[in-house]
Amino acid sequence: MQEQHGIAVVLTGLLRSLFSPPVADTYRIHVAQPLSARLDTFIVVVGESSDRRPQLKLQAAAAYPGASLFIMPLPIFGNLHCPISGSRVDWESAHPRDPKASQKLRPFEHDEERYVQHARRVLIQWYGIRHGYVRVEAAERRRGAQYAWLLRARTDAVHLEPLPGRWLARASRNHVYVPEGGMNAFGVGMCQNDHFFLCPRHLCRPYFHLIGDLWESPYCVDGGRGTREDANVTGSIFARPAPTAPGGFVLSEAPSAPFWLPPPPKFADAEWYFLARYSNASGKVCDASYTTAEACCGLIREVPYKYSIARGDSNRGHVECHERLVYFWRGTNGSAIRERNRDALARCAALYRYPSANRTASKKPRRVRRL
């Protein structure tokens, strides 16, 4: 293929607020217009009927000119060789502003099936992510060249600052990137934000093929298909330290040897597995209260990219301003976080309630489990 150039953005998830003004307009202003001819957009909507395809194609053409749209049925977990482990942490057992929150968090020790079902809902998104990657590869074959960068984003993400200048321009091709805030304010959630994922082309596959390489692999020995003594815990699924390699790690491709899939650490959820794919399977989380991404997260780095989530549908809803820019932003001082993100909060407040604009930002929310 020819030399790499351009960026592909893969918007995946349920339909949610994909066509709403806060989502579509901020994508155009902060992503599409600055990147211009260098950008291709791929949309994978999960869980909608194929009968709605004509209507959704018209909406996509209006909101995301030139984008590729694919409607994907809701996946059924029928081809799994590895079992799904549920959430391991009770996020309500400590307050994220407490400097000792990591020591006060408690793991779940009850109602296991409930949290397995939650993990299944988390993993549904990875079917859409994989299909988006397949469509990117098909486009690359047609154009005769790979993209230089891939960005995966949610279908309800609201961009509050320019992607190229605030994120892409600062990125190194030796690492992959996730937002620093907006998803989990606890230190143990470091490097596990799955709302966005930016990768140089050669480091993308382990993220986009997470569901197939781990849970669908026939090499998994869990579930009565072998014994753990016959397999390597990491096998060929997690990154391996390699001091001489760019970034210090070698990434895995598709599994090629027997492995068993360890459950997440006790203070982690299903998102932990993509962290392990880019760091290691040590069974530990990376806790920002005593370490850094450079020291713990392997090839993953965090960026303070400002964004939010639009709740509702294409016609009516609200944008989570305080929630995503303060409450779910990591740090022990809420006032300092609010001041740090003051400009983004002001931009978000103008979008808060749609279709009406210029409404005041939401009040501080009640404590809720992070999403």
**Alpha-carbon gap, residue 35 to 16, rounded angstroms:** 25
- Per the structure, how many domains does the chain have? 1
118 in a structural domain: yes
Query: Domain range for residue 101?
Result: 7-303
Q: Closest Cα partner for 43 from 5, 8, 7, 76?
A: 8
What does the alpha-carbon distance between residue 356 and residue 308 come to, in Å, rounded to a whole number?
18
| Structure tokens, 212 | 């197939």
Asked if residue 342 is part of any domain, the answer here is no
Question: What is the chain's pLDDT, residue by residue, as a tens digit (371 residues)?
Answer: 677 889 999 999 999 999 999 999 999 999 999 998 899 999 999 998 888 999 999 999 999 999 999 999 887 777 788 888 777 788 888 998 998 888 888 887 655 677 777 788 888 899 999 999 999 999 999 999 999 999 999 999 999 999 999 999 989 999 999 999 999 999 999 999 999 999 999 999 999 999 999 999 988 886 444 455 555 555 568 898 898 998 899 998 888 888 888 888 888 888 899 999 999 877 788 999 999 999 999 999 999 999 999 999 999 999 999 999 999 999 999 999 999 999 999 999 999 889 854 444 444 444 434 44
Residue 347: CB atoms within 10 Å: 21
**The pair of three-digit structure tokens given for residue 176, joined into one six-digit string:** 């992959």
Beta bridge partners of 11: 43, 153
| 314 found inside a domain | no
| 247 occurs within a structural domain | yes
- Tell me if 75 is assigned to some domain: yes
Task: Decide if 338 is inside a domain.
Answer: no
Is 319 part of a structural domain of the chain? no
Tokens, residue 229 = 């003594």
Instruction: Say if 288 falls within a structural domain.
Output: yes
